[in-house]
Amino acid sequence: MSQLLQSVFSGLALGSLFAVIGIGFVIIHRVTGVLNLAQGALAVLGAYLMSDLVGTLPWVASLLVGSAVVAVVAALIGVAVITARQTLEYSPTIMTLGIAIASQGVFVLIWGDLPHTYPPISQVAWRVAGAFVLPQQLLLLVTASVALVLLQLFFSRAYLGKALTAAALNPRSAQLVGIDLVRVGTIAFAVSGAVAGASGAIFGALVPVTPHSHLGLAVAGFAAAVLGNLYSPTATMAGGLLLGQLTSAAATYGLPEYQQVVALVVLILVLLGRTLWQRRGGVLT
Amino acid sequence: MRIPPAAWYRTLADALSGPLVIGLILALGPVLLPPTMLDVGALCALYLVAGVGLNLLMGHTGQVSFGQGGFWAIGAYAVGILTVKAGLPVTAAVPAAVAVTGVAAVVIGWPVTALRGHYIAVATLALALIVVDLANNLGSLTGGNAGLVGIPSLTLAGEPLSGASFYRLCWAVALVVLVLAANISRSRTGRAMRAVGADESGSQSVGMSSARYRLAAFVFAAVLAGAGGALYATYLGFLSPEAFSVDLSALFLIVIMVGGMSSPYGAVVGAVAVTALSQWLTDLSANPALPARVVPALNTLLYGLVIFLVMRFVPGGLLPLLGRAARGAVAMVWAGDGRGLAMLRIRGRRRPAVASEGEP
Amino acid sequence: MLQVEELVVRYGGLEALHQVSLTVADGDFVAVLGRNGAGKSTLVKAIAGVLPVASGRIIHDGDRIDGARPAQVVRHGIAVVPEGRQLFGQLNVRDNLRLGAFGVTSRGLLGMARTLLPRQRLVEARVERVLHLLPELAGLLDRPAGVLSGGEQQMVAVGRALVADPRVLVVDELSLGLAPRVVTRLLAHLATLNQEGISIVLIEQNIALALQASRSAYVLEGGVVRFRGRSADLANDDTVLSAYLGVSEAVH
């Protein structure tokens, strides 16, 4: 029993990270139609920045500064991609893949290829029903949840949030009322980047950050987003947490080297499930 | 002075990158290149083979695949496992490996080619990552992280193929593949594939067989990549999972992007460009002043940058641009003024990706 | 006054507008007529700033606005009601109306910051004013825009453009897919707005209604202006009507 519980707790942090990356996918896709394959790299960047800053600045300050930097990087990516002449349906996606691959090189050049690690806010684990949970894991879950709530509020209440939704619903009309599509798209990128960076920074204290893990994270986050129909941040959160649990269970119950494979297989199954559902005449909004 | 008609140059450009050139490369390479370069030249041919397959898949049926690296790896590891673990003679192992890749492609492709747009891109990316993961994890079969060693070279009449003979083999394969692909492209099948690719709504207006064409293109591309990987395995003699990272799929993407996706011949330019880039980086790594990790990282960085820059600024590929530049330069000389410069301007709708596509 | 001078616009590699000149005097009601593909919508898009201008000038109140971004065009006082309504279907009518003011109220850093708020006094005041002008909208405020009837949607689209407090209202294909009775009512609203001082540019395929409502008229064909003059004159000009608009009788 406690083994199961331990698996659940371990899966929460990973699941929250997947969820946040997935929510970023959803936001960017809804507003700009772009699939940002650099989402994972943004989270990894957050972790690397944290590893540098946490020695000099207090924890919270490091987190905020790091997230801000990632937001700026994400915004730059957004501008580069959105303002491009789109020749093929998938050109922006390939651009983001190029950026993601390039960032991997940058990570190694700046930070080397050995894992970076830094201490969590508390090394003291809490004991719950025979299993251990680190405050850091709960922090990540809380951060993801708070981000989700704030984003939902933003989209449903804030004037700017409605403008972003409008840009997604009808770009032509949005332009006519004065909504600048480039500006709005860049905001979507920046917000997704900030949240991904923050989550990466928190997660990096639990699992050492390496330069090549970003694509696996991006794929897992995308799987969560697909579970959310590439539309609903809440469903994406649920999907991400579920994926985290599956991955953690695989690790706990005998297939530790296959963590990545689990996430990837789930993605393919989900995508196939969707296609079959559509073929059968089912409707996906 | 009238600027000469463009058709002249288009035919010339096509001929310049066609089978004629490959034939020349094949024949003259061992004569003109220093022996150390022959291996690199052979690798270039193998990249070309995989690139041609991807051109048919992406350029014709419009299916984005980031997974070519995965099939290359399957071909390579199949040869490795069949020779080292199962003791098969290498001349049998290579075709067998290609067959294995084909079967894998059918099994994987059948569900994957049902996906569209973004989804197939991420699914194939996931596949490339899975293959590397499996290579790392199925240690007993693949040698895991440490790698698989002892793969024999191909032999012809008892003599192992290497250097000039291997070079010739690879370029012969490349020639055959290129002519085959060009023929397919010109044939009814090719037209059907392009129709499938143009049919974005996926409404299958081309008929139920659109699924068949998509799968055929997918398998064709995979088999070519597998063949490339299989030959690569015999050339290298050992395999390690790091060689099949996403860098590889990036490489193949660059091959067709740089060359432009409209014609299989564009892959020639792409393969040469990519090989030149790799070689430059390898030379760089010989520099003792640079720490060991820098060059591979630089490699990855440059691949990513090239993909981004080409897609962002020259999405039509460099081959068409070179063709226009050639025409423009000649026109400038002919007309004696700057009129030729106008030919260099890249045409296309200047519109941000987010604005909706319009109707007049 | 809105002046379009020798406008050349390219679309899809073709020249969609050739040297088009058009004047909308203050307070005028101008109809722009023509068959499908004549270039009417291209003209609207060029004025709105959505399509780039190859050559020529668009001048509003003395300032050149060709090449301006759509947000700048709206801020300058020209609002467009697009063809086919094009509302934000999943947002409610109130939000659709509010968004009409986005371009004009989000100017500058402070303006952008204020957009984070759920409600702004400026925006609400503008919406209130439009509700006075178009009272039928009051009952629809909380409904999702996508479920409304065609006529209701068209009114919301007009309302959304009015929230920007424009001096020129460009309406593209008002009557498309709407019953004549509905169109007449909408045109009555436009007439009232015109009396309040807002210049109207009505792009239309329904010639009869357009000529009844407007005072000046232009006829476009093949991207070229074939007729400019008073609507009353055009209504009696059989030659022009049949040549460019495919109408066989005079329209009274």
Looking at residue B25, its pLDDT comes to: 75
Which residues in chain C are closer than 8 Å to B358, comparing Cβ atoms?
Answer: 45
Mutate which of B345, B349, B357 to disrupt the C interface (most C C-beta within 10 Å)? B349
CA nearest neighbour of B63 among B125, B150, B17, B148: B125
Rounded distance, CA B204 to CA C3, Å? 48
Alpha helices in chain C (DSSP H): 40-48, 70-76, 93-99, 102-105, 108-114, 121-133, 150-162, 180-195, 207-213, 231-235, 238-245
Q: How far apart are CA A127 and CA C92, in angstroms?
A: 49
A95 touches B: beta carbon within 8 Å: yes
CB contact under 8 A, C69 and A180: yes
Check B360 against C52: CB less than 8 A apart: no
The reply to whether B354 touches chain C by the CB within 8 Å rule is: no
Of A160, A166, A176, nearest to C115 by CB-CB distance is A160
C37 contacts B350? CB cut-off 8 A: no
Residue B354: its chain C contacts at CB < 8 A? none
Residue B4: pLDDT band by 50, 70, 90 thresholds? Answer: very low
Residues from chain A contacting residue C161 (CB–CB below 8 Å): 176
Sequential DSSP letters for A215-280:
HHHHHHHHHHHHHTTTT-HHHHHHHHHHHHHHHHHHHHTT-GGGHHHHHHHHHHHHHHHHHHHHHT
> Which residue in A has a C-alpha nearest to residue C81's C-alpha?
A176
Residue A19 confidence (pLDDT): 96
**pLDDT score, position C202:** 94
All residues of chain B having their beta carbon less than 8 Å from the beta carbon of residue C11 are 360
Beta strands C78-81 and C168-172 are parallel
Q: What are phi and psi of B166, to 5 degrees?
A: -65, -40
Residues of chain B found within 8 Å of residue C16, distances taken between Cβ atoms: 360
Tens-place pLDDT, residues A213-263: 899 899 999 999 988 888 899 999 999 999 999 888 888 876 666 666 777
Residue C176, phi then psi, degrees to nearest 5: -55, 120
Q: Which residue of A151, A173, A187 to mutate against C (max C Cβ within 10 Å)? A: A173
Q: Are B358 and C45 within 8 A, CB to CB?
A: yes
**What chains are in contact with A, requiring at least 3 Cβ pairs below 8 Å?**
B, C
A155, A175, A176, best to mutate vs chain C, most C CBs in 10 Å = A176
Contact (CB<8Å) A165/C88: yes
Buried b (16+ CB within 10 A) or exposed e, A226-264: bbbebebbebbbbbbbbbbbbbbbbbbeeeeebbbbbbb
Q: Is B350 on the interface with C (CB under 8 A)?
A: yes
Q: Do C11 and B360 touch (CB under 8 A)?
A: yes
CATH of A2-279, one of 1.10.287, 3.40.1710, 1.20.58, 1.10.3470: 1.10.3470
Going by C-alpha positions, the residue among A180, A178, A174, A183 that lies closest to residue C86 is: A174
Number of CB pairs, chain A paired with chain B, less than 8 A apart: 188
Identity of the residue in C75, C86, C101 whose CB atom sits nearest the CB atom of A173: C86
Residue B347's pLDDT is 40
Tens digit of each residue's pLDDT (9 = 90 or more) over C68-125: 999 999 999 999 999 888 999 889 999 999 999 998 888 888 888 888 888 888 899 9
Which chain C residues contact residue B360 at CB under 8 A? 11-12, 16, 37, 41-42
The highest-confidence range among B182-191, B277-286, C129-138, by mean pLDDT, is C129-138
Q: Which residue has the higher pLDDT, B13 or C205?
A: C205
Distance, CA of A16 to CA of A25 (rounded, Å): 14
CB contact (8 A) between residue A158 and residue C115:
yes
Token duo for residue B218 = 């997918």
Q: Is B125 in Cβ contact with A98 (below 8 Å)?
A: no
* One-letter identity of residue C230: R
**How far apart, in whole angstroms, are the C-alpha atoms of residue A240 and residue A25?**
12
Query: How is chain A split into domains, by residue range?
Result: 2-279
In A162-181, the residues whose Cβ lies within 8 Å of chain C are 162-163, 165-166, 169-170, 172-180
Q: Among A100, A212, A260, whose Cβ lies nearest the Cβ of B304?
A: A100
**Partner chains of C (3+ C-beta pairs under 8 Å):** A, B
pLDDT for the residue numbered C238:
78
Q: Which long-range contacts (CB under 8 A, 24 or more apart) does B94-100 make?
A: B94/B154, B94/B227, B94/B230, B94/B231, B94/B234, B97/B226, B97/B229, B97/B230, B97/B233, B98/B223, B98/B226, B98/B227, B98/B230, B100/B74, B100/B75, B100/B226
The pTM of this model reads 0.86
Is B360's Cβ below 8 Å from some Cβ in C? Answer: yes
What is the arithmetic mean of pLDDT over A160-170? Answer: 91
* pLDDT at residue B349, as a whole number: 36
Query: Is there a contact between C100 and C148 (Cβ–Cβ < 8 Å)?
Result: no
Instruction: Collect all residues of chain C within an 8 Å Cβ-Cβ radius of residue B352.
Output: none
Q: CB–CB of C11 and B355 under 8 A?
A: no
What's the rounded Cα separation, in Å, for the pair A130 and B243?
43
Cβ distance C12 to B360 less than 8 Å, yes or no, reads yes
The whole-angstrom distance between A257's CA and the closest CA on chain B is 6
List, in order, residues 6 or more apart from C238 with CB less than 8 Å away: C249, C250
**Distance, CA of B69 to CA of B57 (rounded, Å):** 14
The helix (run of H) or strand (run of E) holding residue A140 is: helix A135-157
Distance from CA of B323 to the nearest CA of A (A): 19
Average confidence (pLDDT) over B239-253: 85
* Closest chain A residue to the Cα of C101, Cα to Cα: A177
Among the partner-chain residues B246, B351, B358, the one whose CB lies closest to the CB of A101 is: B246
> pLDDT digits over A66-114, tens only?
999 999 999 999 999 999 877 777 789 889 999 999 999 999 999 988 8
> Are the C-beta atoms of B214 and B61 separated by less than 8 Å?
yes
> Cβ of B358 and C16 within 8 Å?
no
Per-chain mean pLDDT for chain C: 89
pLDDT at B188: 81
- Contact present, B303 and B247 (Cβ < 8 Å): yes
Q: Is the pLDDT of residue A208 over 50?
A: yes
Task: Give B15's pLDDT tier (boundaries 50, 70, 90).
Answer: low
Mutate which: C10, C11, C43, C80, vs B, most B CBs within 10 A = C11
Dig out the tokens for B232 from the structure.
């690569």
Task: State percent of chain B over pLDDT 70.
Answer: 78
Which pLDDT tens digit goes with each residue over B93-117? Answer: 889 999 999 999 999 888 888 887 7
Per-residue pLDDT, averaged over B280-288, amounts to 77
Q: Which residue of A has its CA nearest to C161?
A: A177
**What is the SS3 assignment for A178?**
coil
Nearest beta carbon to residue C99 from set A154, A163, A180:
A163
Q: Which residues of C touch A163 (CB under 8 A)?
A: 99, 102, 115
pLDDT of B13 strictly over 60: no
Q: Which chain C residue has the Cα nearest residue B360?
A: C42
Closest residue in C to B356 (Cα–Cα): C50
